[in-house]
Chain A
Amino acid sequence: MMPFLVWLIFLLPLSSFIINSIIAMLVHPVSEGTRGGNLRNKISGYITIATIGGSLILSIWTLLSVMALPHHELAIPDINWLVIGDKLSISLGLIVNPLTVVMLIVVTVVSLLVQIYSQGYMHGDPGYHRYYAFMSLFTASMLGVALADNLLFLYVFWEGVGLCSYLLIGFWFHRPAAADAAKKAFIVTRLGDFGFLAAILLLFANTGTFDITELSHLAITGGLAGATLTWAAIGIFSGAVGKSAQFPLHVWLPDAMEGPTPVSALIHAATMVAAGVFLVARTYPLFAHSVEALTTVAIIGGVTAIFAATMGLVMNDIKRVLAYSTISQLGYMMLGLGTGGVAIGMFHLFNHAFFKALLFLGAGSVNHATGTFDMRQMGGLRKIMPWTYVTFLIASLSLTGIWPFAGFWSKDDIILSSMESQPILFVLATITVFMTAFYMFRAVFLTFGGEYRGGDPGSHGHPHESPPVMVVPMVILAVLAVVSGFWNVTGSFGVFLGHGETRSFVEGFFGIFTHPLPWISMLLAVLGILLAYAIYSARWLSAEHIGSLFKPLYILFSRKYWMDELYENIIVKKALLGGIFNGLEQVDTHVVDGAVNGAASGTIAGGGVLRRAQTGQLQLYGLFIGIGVLAIIVCLYLFG
């Protein structure tokens, strides 16, 4: 019974995908007020919410079961999937350990709340049923990533979430920007996935297994070591770099904001982009036994954290600020994994999922009211949208790392672990705390502070608070954004994931300030908030003045370090299109086509010579036959 229920966690959203796909093909939305129209228009949303709700209940039940077990591991019998001879046996199995259940909870909770929110946000969209079909497929794939016990199936689901990301970024595919962003996301992540696939094949070639538990065991016992292990770990990490938008493959995530905002909240903030972090955590023993690989993870994470934060400082589009913030926070998670361990990285993932999803839902709510994402056209929404304001503020404080909000607990762990092992990255991470506080509160003050600046020029002009169907999920997430961090105040999250020791709640809650580090990071965060307040709310300092003071930096950040231009113009257009592809085309036209055309023209020329023998004169042919016969006779006579 138990294995079946665990399978059901993943199969429920999958069934919802199938049903919703059929609905999307057969049922078209009807106008408001038609009898049964409301149900007809929203049926796919209800199905999705019901199935994901079921998955959530099962996930919580799994979490409780796993916590109750002494070894925190639930054995699920494998299903034999492919057996070829004695060498190759691939079984389809689930791994249910603390890492899995944490991910299951994150995915199902955020997904459920986002689906409920979407009922309001996507209200009246002609692609409503299609939207829920894709969202169900995404949730199923994401749960598959969390549950899969071998790299092959993990890869299948990994590509599944990538596909859904593509489909949902390009959900409004009639807009060229959305279609381009979808393609960009797909192609850029493909670069990373290539490394991941190569690593899977490398591991299989060396060990003959795809099973993660076995591979981890081999890494721990030394059966897998040296250059092979390092390259395999780096390959897996390259997949994570693509999916989690780490430097240098981060360029797709800001553009992915072209998708519907709930999609950004679920896929591009809380779950899919965190899949890269999850992957590294899942295969952590491979990294732990290769110093080079672990250092790479830490460096890429630390560099990405500050690199993305600098760009977040100057963006005017609220979703782009959040996108860069996501990249930056994913960098923190990687830094946590690289310097601290699974528990530290995963804890930030866990907390980040809630507050970042909330921030995106808040941005969506603001967009719903004003019709724009440009913060320069917002302002003053504090009074008009109190619920959105309060929840957004809570999430911002959590992200900034203010005690005792969730983000504080996980970010502090990461900074502490980086201080212990990578002093340079520690400095970067600490500066990033200041930047995070600044850009988040810049967004808060620009959006909610001051006076309303009119919203989108083409919109109706009367902003209003969003309907309860959108506000309630935000409130729930706001509660989670405060309390999710308390899980590790006592250290029990760390212990659950096999790291650290427990302490009493009070000791953890207040005792953390016996160390100077939390004081430093809190001070920096508060300074960041004050600077944002000074510039954007109190206007003691002029933003334009500061912008012109640091003009070269401002241009560098706002042009995103010319990374897009570098990739598009230099690498794609010049190096690839102009160089390699052009060279290949030359080879194709001149060598390959040349060989084919040469064979044809050579045959024609040869035929031109040989056709002279074909005179059409029967008597001449007869003469040759006669000569031939004579020659044969002579030969027989001479040599026979």
Chain B
Amino acid sequence: MSIGLEHYLILSGILFSIGLYGALAKRNAIAILMSIEIMLTAASIAMIAFSRYVVPLLLTGQIFVIFIMVVAAAETAVGLAIIISIYRKRETVDATEIDLMKM
């Protein structure tokens, strides 16, 4: 049995679902951030797979993934900075308790 596009996509789907579950269900803000990273990874895998199997001669999908990684790194940096800032103020990283905007 050779490894085909379907397998990558199924892996991508499973990873995305795990990430989505984590992002929605976890209370810890750092865990949510990690879950988002997992979802981004899932998307990256799908893109590389499509790039490899659908248009092998073009590198569009792979370049996109590099962009995703850059953006993800930046996003994580900003996200972590926010979380640290909130932790310093409120002594918690529980996302459900971060409700300053709610009346």
Contacts and interface: CB of A to CB of B under 8 A. Distances in A.
Interface stretch (B6-14, B63-71, B93-101): B93-101
A617 B102 CA distance: 9
B23 A619 contact: yes
Interface string A483-499: 00000000000000000
B20 interface: yes
Interface string A604-620: 00000000001111110
A617 B99 CA distance: 7
B74 interface: no
Nearest to A614: B102
A623 interface: yes
Q: Pick the most buried of A614, A615, A618, A623: most chain B CB atoms within 10 A of its CB.
A: A618
Contacts, number: 20
Interface in A601-640: 614-619, 622-623, 626
Contacts of B99: 616-617
B20 A626 contact: yes
A281 B101 CA distance: 80
A616 B95 contact: no
Interface string B19-49: 0100111000000100000000000000000
B23 A617 contact: no
Contacts of B95: 617-619
Contacts of A619: 23-25, 32, 95-96
B24 A622 contact: yes
Contacts of B24: 619, 622-623, 626
Contacts of A615: 102
B93 to A, nearest CB: 14
Nearest to B101: A616
A616 B95 CA distance: 10
Contacts of B32: 619
Contacts of B101: 616
A451 to B, nearest CB: 91
A616 B23 contact: no
Q: Please report whether the interface of chain A is mostly helix, strand, loop or mixed according to DSSP.
A: helix
Interface string B71-103: 000000000000000000000000110010110
A617 B27 CA distance: 11
A617 B24 CA distance: 10
A616 B25 contact: no
A171 B96 CA distance: 77
Contacts of B25: 619
A622 B101 CA distance: 17
Nearest to B96: A617
A619 B36 CA distance: 12
Contacts of A614: 102
A617 B23 CA distance: 12
A614 B99 CA distance: 11
Contacts of B23: 619, 622
Contacts of B20: 626
A619 B99 CA distance: 12
Nearest to A616: B102
Contacts of A622: 23-24
A42 to B, nearest CB: 75
Contacts of A617: 95-96, 99
A460 B84 CA distance: 98
Nearest to B98: A618
B59 to A, nearest CB: 29
Contacts of A623: 24
Of residues B24, B25, B95, which shows the largest number of chain A Cβ atoms within 10 Å of its Cβ? Answer: B24
Nearest to A618: B95
Contacts of B102: 614-616
Interface in A119-133: none
Nearest to A615: B102
A564 to B, nearest CB: 63
A611 to B, nearest CB: 8
A108 B7 CA distance: 112
A335 B95 CA distance: 96
A600 B8 CA distance: 56
Contacts of A618: 95
Interface in A15-67: none
A607 to B, nearest CB: 11
Nearest to B32: A619
A616 B96 CA distance: 8
A618 to B, nearest CB: 7
A626 B20 CA distance: 8
Nearest to B102: A616
B39 to A, nearest CB: 11
Contacts of A626: 20, 24
Nearest to B23: A622
A615 to B, nearest CB: 8
A616 B32 CA distance: 16
A269 B48 CA distance: 106
A623 B23 CA distance: 9
A626 B24 CA distance: 9
A633 to B, nearest CB: 12
B46 to A, nearest CB: 15
A615 B98 CA distance: 12
A622 B95 CA distance: 13
Nearest to A611: B103
Interface of A: 614-619, 622-623, 626
Interface of B: 20, 23-25, 32, 95-96, 99, 101-102
11 contacts: A614-B102, A615-B102, A616-B102, A617-B96, A618-B95, A619-B23, A619-B25, A619-B32, A619-B96, A623-B24, A626-B24
Closest 9 CB pairs of A and B: A616-B102, A616-B99, A623-B24, A622-B24, A619-B24, A617-B96, A626-B20, A622-B23, A619-B95
Given A614-B102, A615-B102, A622-B24, 5 more contacts: A617-B96, A618-B95, A619-B25, A619-B95, A626-B20
